[in-house]
Structure 1
């Protein structure tokens, strides 16, 4: 299986690259900074230097050619400013989806936010960076759900931690708010690549008592 990950240098993406490559899969991490290529290689993947804020759909489709799965795990990150919440968290997600359709890559995973449903909450300040972030995430989700050419799954993790993974989670349509380790998010994403029962679903993920393999098998 060949997997292309947008946001390839992110903490979840590097963990996912290690898991997939250790299982014998081929992984390409999309990064905009050439200095990150060595970290991708150390995780067992191959880097493709491409800026999703300036690339066109043909550029991205070339990297996706021959892939089995596309994963959008990119994000503007803290301190990036309101404008980049839109250009990355929404715009880059839509671009990767466009390119996946162009390249014929049907399986598509998108990392969202467990708070995305709050984007239109009237109690939130519309000019606050967090609100703008949520609106960008929700717009990216809405865009993906409208596509017939992709076998998509949206994964909404809870509050991310760097604690060691437990391999036990709660994975379902609605979980309520909670924490989840980045290790366990990556483990679930690796499993979702080959879980047809998750196609067309928006799943939330927090810490729980169910082993990941069982949680995936019972979707």
Structure 2
């Protein structure tokens, strides 16, 4: 399985380590090239892009099974609105089989709408990042649930 992680920050490194240890590929989006060595040390593939510029993520979805949109700490706005919608639109006719979202209520509603439209299973994360291990556990559980869900 290949996971595309958009957001996640430092707690995302714990998730990357765990996914990589289980033999999964993690493409971790970052705007900051200085973060690349940490992503690679955790076993991930760093992808330079900006979720505020969806065009910069154009090829990030290549061969991805699960999209993790983990921008719960980002302020309300376009990342949970128009940018999220554009990214969800780009999952049509791709290998993406599930979406996990961390963010706002409005963003969660948009994921529900777009996932229904695209017939892609989804999950809404509601676990705080205060404990990176519990946060990673919750996401791993949601990945399993999304992959087991019937599509359509």
Specify the TM-score bucket, using the shorter chain as the normaliser. Answer: 0.7 to 0.9
Is the contact between residue 98 and residue 146 of structure 2 (CA under 8 Å) also seen in structure 1?
A: no
Offset, 1:198: 7.8
Offset, 1:197: 8.3
Gaps of 5+ in 1: 78-83, 113-136, 162-180, 201-219
Aligned length: 147
Offset, 1:94: 2.8
With over 3 angstroms needed to count, the CA separation of the structure-2 counterparts of 1:11 and 1:153, relative to structure 1, is same
For 2:36, the equivalent position in structure 1 comes to: 37
Pick from 64, 77, 90 the counterpart of residue 81 of structure 2.
90
The answer to whether structure 1 residue 143 and structure 2 residue 110 are counterparts is: yes
Offset, 1:46: 0.5
Superposition map of 1:1-219 within 5 A? 1-8=1-8, 10-56=9-55, 59-75=56-72, 77=74, 85-112=76-103, 137-147=104-114, 148=116, 149=118, 150-158=120-128, 160-161=129-130, 181-196=131-146
Offset, 1:15: 1.3
Offset, 1:102: 4.9
RMSD: 2.3
User: Could you give the per-residue CA deviations for residues 69-96 of structure 1, whole angstroms, max 9, x where no partner exists?
Assistant: 110112454xxxxxx5303343443333
Bigger CA radius of gyration: 1
Higher RCO (Cα < 8 Å, 6 or more apart): 2
Gaps of 5+ in 2: none
Is the contact between residue 2 and residue 65 of structure 2 (CA under 8 Å) also seen in structure 1?
A: yes
TM-score by length of structure 2 reads: 0.83
Distance 1:90 1:18 in 2: 30
With over 3 angstroms needed to count, the CA separation of the structure-2 counterparts of 1:47 and 1:189, relative to structure 1, is same
TM-score by length of structure 1 reads: 0.60
Distance 2:110 2:2 in 1: 24
Is the contact between residue 20 and residue 26 of structure 1 (CA under 8 Å) also seen in structure 2?
A: yes
**Secondary structure at the counterpart of residue 85 of structure 1:** coil
Offset, 1:101: 2.6
